[in-house]
Structure 1
């Protein structure tokens, strides 16, 4: 499995079903050069990325910061579209998070890729 976007490609993808989800490991390449190792343990936590250099992380972060939001069409058992915003300071995103996560009211700052720490 290889996914290519803006010169980025996931390669060497290995997957495993777990009792809590779906685990995977992969390598991330930019323009054919390996820039990171990627893994998710399949237990509901974040996907972890170990960058080869800080420069690779910065270039990726700058690109991601340009993406804004994306709406995924209904699929894989979802009945309605799913909109993902990469900026948690966006008012619509904050409203959605607050409705789903009561603990959100205790959050004062969030890390935004490409922007750093931002007040919410």
Structure 2
């Protein structure tokens, strides 16, 4: 049984409080923990997407790369990996991840914004 009795608070209010508390904890965790993969940044025509990845490598620090997905639908997706190079003085795992995400977003939304499937193949 709950510490707060349901006689004082209705059940739906307790459920809403629990959901709000869970959401707050998730938001706090996302501030402290760095995800390994970003979401996909997809271009306007939907056939070119880029995602940033970050991994820790022993004795080498942090490795960051972009995964590029080309193709019009799931059956014909082709994946490529691109290394990310950083400007002089870039330090820190979070800064590297943020920089890679920005590069991925720029590739999808600016550089290859309106790529057609036939242009990707040839």
Question: Over alpha carbons, which structure has the higher Rg?
Answer: 2
- Higher relative contact order, structure no. (Cα contacts within 8 Å, ≥ 6 residues apart): 2
TM-score range, shorter chain: under 0.3
Quick check: which one's strand share is greater?
A: 1
What TM-score do you get using the length of structure 1 for normalisation?
0.27
Quick check: which one's helix share is greater?
A: 2
